[in-house]
Amino acid sequence: MIASTSIEKYRFTFTAFLLTSVALLLPDPATAANLPRLLIGACAEEIIFRGLLQDFLSKTSFCNQGTSQNYFLPSRANVITSLLFAVFHLFSHSPLWAMATFFPSLLLGAVWDRHQSLAICIALHLSYNLGYYYL
């Protein structure tokens, strides 16, 4: 059981990095120059919001109260973290775009709840940022 979970994590991470590498083929010369900023941003946000905040909230009694392992509903910790994630983006985005970050954050939070892997969350976040930034 452990081996299949590890293989699934690596497969998922590899796919996310593969999708991210497609952005390097875009004709915009600023792609390579902005990649470090996007990578640092994705790493910092995932460490803070998933690795620290969501992990902490998931261990509190409020977020664990009456919850079951239902993969179709987001956890309370995920919803709270995603709301704070969207509010955080008000500093750098218009209100509409900042609130729109709530939905990708829910997906990243679901990945965190299922896999507990910052590498996967960072890879997906970077892929999303590259798509948002360059498309």
pLDDT digits (tens, 9 = 90+) for 41-100: 999 999 999 999 999 999 998 887 655 566 678 999 999 999 999 999 999 889 999 999
Q: Can you read off the two tokens belonging to residue 38?
A: 């996007």
Domain tally, the chain: 1
**Is residue 27 assigned to a domain?**
no
Angle between helices 118-134 and 2-22 (to 10 degrees): 20
**Is residue 135 assigned to a domain?**
yes
pLDDT of residue 1: 46
Q: Shortest CA distance to 12 belongs to which of 127, 105, 90, 91? A: 127
**Is residue 50 assigned to a domain?**
yes
**Is residue 68 assigned to a domain?**
no
Q: Quote the pTM value.
A: 0.75
Structural domain harbouring 50: 38-62+73-135
Q: Can you read off the two tokens belonging to residue 73?
A: 């509903």
**Is residue 94 assigned to a domain?**
yes
**Is residue 2 assigned to a domain?**
no
**Is residue 16 assigned to a domain?**
no
**Is residue 119 assigned to a domain?**
yes
Residue 28 main-chain phi, psi, to 5 deg:
-65, 120
Biggest CA pair distance of the chain: 51
Percentage of residues of the chain with pLDDT beyond 90 = 51
